[in-house]
Homo-oligomer: A and B are copies of this chain.
Amino acid sequence: MYSLGLDFGTNSLRAVVLDLEKGIEIADAVCNYPSGVDGVILDAGNPHLARQNPYDYHISMEKVIKDVVEKARRREKTFSQEKMIGIGVDTTGSTPLPVDENLIPLTFHNEFRRNNNAMAYLWKDHTSADEAEEITDLAEKIRPEYLARIGGVYSSEWFFSKLLHLARIDRRVFDATASFVELCDYIPAVLCGKNRPGEVIRSICAAGHKAMYNEDWGGLPDDEFLYKLDRSFKDIRKKLYEKAYPAGQPAGYLCEEWAKKTGLLPGIPVSVGAFDAHMGAVGAGVKPGVLVKVIGTSSCDMTVAPTGRKLRDIPGICGMVTHSIIPGFVGIEAGQSGVGDIFNWFVKRFAPAGIRDPHRQYSLAAAKIKPGQTGLLALDWHNGNRNILVDQKLTGLVLGLTLNTSPEEIYRTLIEATGFGARMIIERIEEYGVEINEIIATGGIPDKNPLLMQIYSDITGRVLKIAASQQTCAVGAAVFGAIAAGKQRGGFADVLDAQKKVCRFKKIVYRPDKNNKKVYDKIYRLYKGIHDAFGTKSANKNLYYVMKELLKIKGEVIPDG
């Protein structure tokens, strides 16, 4: 038996066909979105705007499914459409779009065809910064519990900021909006031929992490709160939803129209959707005690904790939502605002012109430097600090500079800074009783930068593995498709059942070096000192010891330096 996983990314849609017996992908396909710049609609006059054309989703989905099924057929003789028993979907998020009362995206109407405000609001659209601040302020005043689960600050990247922004800037589009639907809810609904917003099954992952949904307070924010935000939100809850569901439950079944378009059989169960990082975490092997870390331009860190015991809110952690990553567990999500972005900035701006593959050159040179040898220390806040400070108004710092400081030393120091940032998140989560014993890395960097991997292992004191699949998100989606199909029909009973078959790791495993760990423990204390001094209001510390300690550590590491 097989299942199909669909992964709607920022620039393209990827699909895999998963062999449920062997637990491996037998085919994959990709389709780049045709609109905008790499699939993203930009506005020269507004750098914060990032939208997508819902038309792209339809076009790409038809193409990519036909493509991947055809590839599967060619690659495995035993493959046939009858054996495709489930479909799973993950998407970026929060990426909501306004739809009409027939679940048609407003931008499909002639009236709104060229109106960016009727498009899908891509996760990284930051036009609603003011609205996000309003929501945070109001919640702090009258509903602090809404913020406790989402790190204390409501982001401009999230559902209600975007909806409020739409209400404020484009009355015509807002008034025509019958509902505002997350992409991860919209796609399953389309595949299942639903044509009323009320029929859309909403994902608890999107609802809980981005829309302040929680059963503790009866689902979405209450009417009073929403009305205080904006008068036009008076009856908005009616246009939205009352209940959200975990992935793995069927959102519906493949409709005739989409069966015809794709060559699949109608009636295949389609799982409730979720965000890409979350399904990717499942595909990579997240479970209690294991942190999945997607390391790319930024990082996304995910783990789960059993729901059995009372879990306190963890301050400074972006999201804690029951059932959001693995049904039956509390999904915990955090992240670092800048990782690869910081190294890229340094290389792009400060590497001598003409140097070939500067990342590789600097990594090789930096690998010869011992922990503590640089005498340097940095704060990885070039793009703000998502966790554990949840503060965009922070900036990067480097100290310990001397007239001998070299670029490769700074390169190494920037990697170390992101490692210390990673450790801050892990320690904060553990302080609240959720253990993290192992890290599974995915994303663009782990394969390419063994230096970073070893440094992270030495700094965190954890074993780091790399997920073998390059398509953990699409694989995770396929896993949920197979769970929606159910064990009896040849699918999976649940996530842990699936992971035993699906999750594999690369041969190379990074283990902490005891001596390096000792040095990094000392430097980490200094990192924490400046982290708290610049990043929190409470720390009232003298920092006289920081430069002295770094020089002392340097002297211990290279006594003749």
Interface residues in chain A, defined as those with a beta carbon under 8 Å from any beta carbon in chain B = 338, 341-342, 345, 349-355, 375, 379, 381-383, 393-407, 533-544, 546-548, 550-551
A349 in complex: contacting residue of B381, B383, B405, CB < 8 Å: B405
Q: Determine whether the beta carbon of B349 is less than 8 Å from that of A393.
A: no
Q: Determine whether the beta carbon of A395 is less than 8 Å from that of B550.
A: yes
- Chain B residue numbers with a CB within 8 Å of A342 are 403
A542 in complex: contacting residue of B354, B375, B539, B544, CB < 8 Å: B539
Q: Determine whether the beta carbon of B352 is less than 8 Å from that of A353.
A: yes
- Chain B residue numbers with a CB within 8 Å of A550 are 395
Q: Determine whether the beta carbon of A402 is less than 8 Å from that of B375.
A: no
The distance in angstroms between the C-alpha atoms of A219 and B5, with both chains bound, is 89
The distance in angstroms between the C-alpha atoms of A423 and B505, with both chains bound, is 58
Known: A534-B547, A540-B542. 13 other contacts (CB 8 A): A338-B403, A342-B403, A350-B407, A352-B352, A381-B547, A382-B403, A393-B551, A395-B547, A395-B551, A398-B398, A539-B544, A541-B542, A543-B543
Q: Determine whether the beta carbon of A534 is less than 8 Å from that of B544.
A: yes
The distance in angstroms between the C-alpha atoms of A239 and B472, with both chains bound, is 82
Q: Determine whether the beta carbon of A536 is less than 8 Å from that of B544.
A: yes
A–B Cβ pairs within 8 angstroms, 6 of them:
A349-B406, A352-B354, A381-B547, A396-B405, A537-B542, A538-B542
Quickly give the copy total for this chain. Answer: 2
The distance in angstroms between the C-alpha atoms of A277 and B548, with both chains bound, is 31
- Rounded to whole Å, the gap between the CB of A361 and the closest CB of chain B is 12
- Chain B residue numbers with a CB within 8 Å of A341 are 403
- Rounded to whole Å, the gap between the CB of A410 and the closest CB of chain B is 9
A546 in complex: contacting residue of B382, B403, B405, B534, CB < 8 Å: B534
- Rounded to whole Å, the gap between the CB of A102 and the closest CB of chain B is 42
- Chain B residue numbers with a CB within 8 Å of A338 are 403
Known contacts: A394-B547, A551-B393. The answer to whether A405 contacts B345 by CB under 8 A is: yes
- Chain B residue numbers with a CB within 8 Å of A351 are 352
Known contacts: A537-B544, A543-B534, A544-B534. The answer to whether A402 contacts B406 by CB under 8 A is: no
- Chain B residue numbers with a CB within 8 Å of A551 are 393, 395
Q: Determine whether the beta carbon of A399 is less than 8 Å from that of B395.
A: yes
- Rounded to whole Å, the gap between the CB of A22 and the closest CB of chain B is 43
The distance in angstroms between the C-alpha atoms of A173 and B381, with both chains bound, is 57
Known contacts: A534-B544, A544-B535. The answer to whether A399 contacts B397 by CB under 8 A is: yes
In this complex, which of A341, A353, A395, A538 has the most chain B Cβ atoms within 10 angstroms of its Cβ? A395
The distance in angstroms between the C-alpha atoms of A133 and B551, with both chains bound, is 18
The distance in angstroms between the C-alpha atoms of A540 and B403, with both chains bound, is 28
The distance in angstroms between the C-alpha atoms of A11 and B415, with both chains bound, is 42
Known contacts: A382-B402, A401-B398, A542-B539. The answer to whether A407 contacts B349 by CB under 8 A is: yes
- Rounded to whole Å, the gap between the CB of A359 and the closest CB of chain B is 16
Q: Determine whether the beta carbon of B401 is less than 8 Å from that of A396.
A: yes
Q: Determine whether the beta carbon of B375 is less than 8 Å from that of A395.
A: yes
- Chain B residue numbers with a CB within 8 Å of A379 are 399
- Chain B residue numbers with a CB within 8 Å of A402 are 382-383, 395-396
In this complex, which of A382, A396, A401, A540 has the most chain B Cβ atoms within 10 angstroms of its Cβ? A401
